[in-house]
A and B are shown apart, each in its own frame.
Chain A
Amino acid sequence: MTALPVAVILGGGLAGHRAAKALRQAEFDGDVIIIDAEPVRPYDRTFLSKAFLQGTKQSEDLFFESEDEYADWEIDLLTGTRATAVDFAARRLTLDSGDTLGFDQLLIATGASPVRLRQPGFDLPGVHYLRTLADAQALQAGIVGGTRVVVVGASFIGSEVAASTRMLGADVTLVDPVSAPMASALGEEIGRIFAGIHQEHGVNLRMGTRVVELRGHGRVEEAVTAEGERIPCDLVVVGVGVRPETGLVAGTGLEIDNGIVVDQFCATNVPGVYAAGDVANWWHPARERRIRVEHFDNAALQGTAAGRAMAGQPVAHAPVPYFWTDQYDINLQYAGFPGSVENIVLRGDPGAASVTVFYFAGGQIQAVATVNQSRDLRPARQLIEAGARVDPAMLADLKTDLRALARRFRPVK
């Protein structure tokens, strides 16, 4: 009898969870083991800064599956467990318990970790980061109506936390060197919309400056900006981006460059070792470039692709990346490939916070963002996938039926 193959998945986030199920769906007949440092089974992080913080979803609503479901799928969960070393030659992990765990296939789906600020005072109690359920619980416990919150960083996490805490009645100040919330990822036009909507809801914006110091006696009491403004606060939330979590595999010979370098099948340079999700810097075969994506949709699809590859049924992972954010009554969805933008085309009324933005480079639509215009998202995503060259004036014209346009570019099957 041959030995049972062992597939180990490092990281019980979305990518790891999806990979485990994909292994079974592809009838992988060995052990499937998920290892994660968090004490809970895989859950959906995207709720943490929004519905969970706002109190409309509870922790039990966040889990992808019940405990029983993992048993039914014969997926072993090693939660509350950290891998402390990996030996690719011996194909063995060392765990924080001191035990070792051998593997035949390994998926690294360790995600990313929040960038920590080291300026004076950022180590004071009352300073929060938001990545895990425990982080979100700690943050939520500190917020009641009237709590004075300073949010450092106005990209996705920061802007969502500002909106959610404001909705809970907190007194919120949002600080970022960029010109407007979300502007670094989505451009000035959308930045203006989000600046307007945050102000309308009573968030104090401090754009174009930064928090250089936090002060307090035993606990954070005020944030000091570069201009010397002192903002009194009870609590600080820092959301200034994440870094791929590659600590375990640094110096092992695994190729790392802005994350773990993988091909379109999620394979690393070490045979039998794969990476997926936020940690993976992957080759997009249709775009012929590397890309690393820190969003839900990619983690889901790439996790599935990795599981299939590990089961010996590789399929190329080549989606048009997609993400969304919800703040107050604004739903923003984005599909496409971030990068240099040569020109943008607006469809709709940015003043009414109801607009679709097309990002062009090289005569092609590279990306699209819809602001409360969700009906435009699917046809626009299809145009991007098809690499369509479309007259910008046509896109701007609200009389143009985007669905009909997208059908013209759909590949003939």
Chain B
Amino acid sequence: MAELDGFERAMPADEIEEGVMYPVEIDQEERILVKVNGEICALNGICTHEEALLADGDLEGNTIWCPLHSSGFEICTGKVTNPPAVVPLDTYDIRIEDGDVYVAIEPRPKYKEPPKPTRRRR
């Protein structure tokens, strides 16, 4: 089995189907693996609004819906697409080694919506 610094093995890559959430535990935390258009993405498994397991929610297209209060998160970026959540979901780099998916222990920088400073100057 491969050893990757800063990553933990999650599951075999070929078991991951499109349109299904795979809850995995990485670094003793809930994470979710999802395949979208052939790309495997890793997200934090707990909603940023309140403690809820996102794997109990819904996956529709490119969105994960929280089961408790209908917050929506874009897969692969973690961007909030529906309130009440305001904080983006953490996402993680993945690597595939010897057919297994490895998930980074540390999250990527959080998604940040670019501000739109459009005020004309006087």
Residues of A within 8 A of B (CB): 4, 24-25, 27-32, 44, 46, 51, 64-65, 69, 72-74, 296-297, 300, 322, 324, 326, 331, 333, 374-375, 377-378
The size class of the interface chain B forms with chain A is 20 to 34
Residues facing A in B54-81 (CB within 8 A) are 56-58, 60, 65, 67-70
Contact between A333 and B117 (Cβ–Cβ < 8 Å)?
A: no
Per the 8 Å Cβ criterion, residues 79-122 of B in contact with A are 83-84, 86, 115-120, 122
B50 within 8 A of A: yes
Give 17 pairs: A residue, B residue, CB < 8 Å, sorted on A.
A24-B118, A27-B116, A29-B120, A32-B119, A51-B50, A64-B86, A72-B115, A74-B119, A296-B84, A297-B70, A324-B68, A324-B70, A326-B68, A333-B70, A374-B67, A375-B67, A377-B70
Q: A324-B68, A331-B68, A374-B68 in contact; A4/B116 too (CB < 8 A)?
A: no
Q: B117: which of A46, A74, A324 is its contact (CB, 8 Å)?
A: A74
Q: Taking the nearest CB of chain B, how far is it from the CB of A45, in angstroms?
A: 11
Contacts of B56 in A (CB 8 A): 374-375
Could you say which residues of chain A place their CB within 8 Å of the CB of B57? 374
Instruction: Please state if A46 and B84 are interface contacts (CB–CB under 8 Å).
Output: yes
User: Contacting B118 at CB < 8 Å: which of A46, A74, A297, A300?
Assistant: A74
In angstroms, Cα B115 to Cα A72, docked, is 6
- Bound-state CA distance A182–B68 (Å) is 18
Known contacts A30-B120, A324-B68; is-contact A297 B83 (Cβ 8 Å) = yes
Once the chains are docked, how many angstroms separate the CA of A74 from the CA of B117? 6
Beta-carbon contact of A378 and B65 below 8 Å: yes
Please tell me if the beta carbons of B115 and A69 are within 8 angstroms of each other in the complex. yes
Known: A297-B70, A375-B56. A44 touches B84 (CB 8 A): yes
Let me know if A27 and B86 touch, CB within 8 A.
no
Q: State A28–B118 Cα separation when bound (angstroms).
A: 7
Q: How far apart are the CA atoms of A31 and B122 in the complex, in Å?
A: 11
Measured between alpha carbons, how far is A88 from B120 in the docked complex, in Å?
A: 25
Report the minimal beta-carbon distance from B109 to chain A, rounded to whole angstroms.
Answer: 16
Cβ contacts under 8 Å, A377 to chain B: 67, 70
User: Would A73 and B84 be within 8 Å (CB), given that A333-B69, A374-B57, A378-B58 are in contact?
Assistant: no
| Structural contact, A4 and B68, CB atoms closer than 8 A | no
Are B119's CB and A29's CB within 8 A? Answer: yes
The answer for the CA separation of A294 and B83 in the assembled complex, in Å, is: 16
Q: How far does the alpha carbon of A333 sit from the alpha carbon of B67 in the complex, in Å?
A: 10
B118:A324 contact, CB within 8 angstroms: no
B106 to chain A, nearest CB (A): 23
Q: Which residues of B contact A24 (CB under 8 A)?
A: 115-118
List A contacts of B83 (CB < 8 A): 296-297, 300
Compute how far the CA of A71 lies from the CA of B97 in the bound complex, rounded to whole angstroms. 45
- Find out whether the CB atom of A73 lies under 8 angstroms from the CB atom of B116: yes
Shortest 7 CB-CB contacts between residues of A and residues of B? A374-B67, A72-B115, A24-B116, A300-B83, A74-B119, A74-B117, A27-B118
In the complex the two chains form, is A30's CB within 8 Å of B67's CB? no
Q: How far is the CB of B80 from chain A (nearest CB, A)?
A: 11
Q: Which residues of B contact A74 (CB under 8 A)?
A: 115, 117-119
Q: Measured between alpha carbons, how far is A73 from B119 in the docked complex, in Å? A: 9
Closest A residue to B67 by beta carbon equals: A374
A25 to B50, CA, bound (A): 27
- Give the residues in chain A near B65, CB-CB below 8 Å: 378
Question: Across the interface, do A73 and B117 meet the contact criterion of CB distance under 8 Å?
Answer: yes
- What's the minimum C-beta distance from A203 to chain B, rounded to whole angstroms? 22
Shortest C-beta distance, A137 to chain B (Å), equals 20
Extra contacts besides A24-B116, A32-B119 (5): CB < 8 Å: A27-B118, A69-B115, A74-B118, A300-B83, A375-B58
B50 contacts across to A, CB distance below 8 A: 51, 326
Partner of B69 from A69, A73, A324 at Cβ < 8 Å: A324
Distance of A14 from chain B, by nearest CB (Å): 8
Q: Which residues of chain A have C-beta atoms less than 8 A from B117's C-beta?
A: 24, 72-74
Of all chain B residues, the one with the shortest Cβ separation from A25 is B116
Q: Is A29 a contact partner of B69 (Cβ separation < 8 A)?
A: no
Find out whether the CB atom of A29 lies under 8 angstroms from the CB atom of B70. Answer: no
Nearest A residue to B65 by beta-carbon distance?
Answer: A378
Minimal beta-carbon separation of A169 from chain B (angstroms): 21
Question: How far is B57's CA from A31's CA once the two chains are assembled, in angstroms?
Answer: 40
Bound-complex Cα distance A32 to B120 (A): 11
Min distance, Cβ A367 to any Cβ of chain B, angstroms: 15
Set of chain B residues within 8 Å of A51, measured between Cβ atoms: 50
B115 touches which one: A28, A32, A73 (CB < 8 A)? Answer: A73
Residues of A within 8 A of B58 (CB): 375, 378
Across the interface, name the chain B residue whose C-beta is closest to A370.
B67
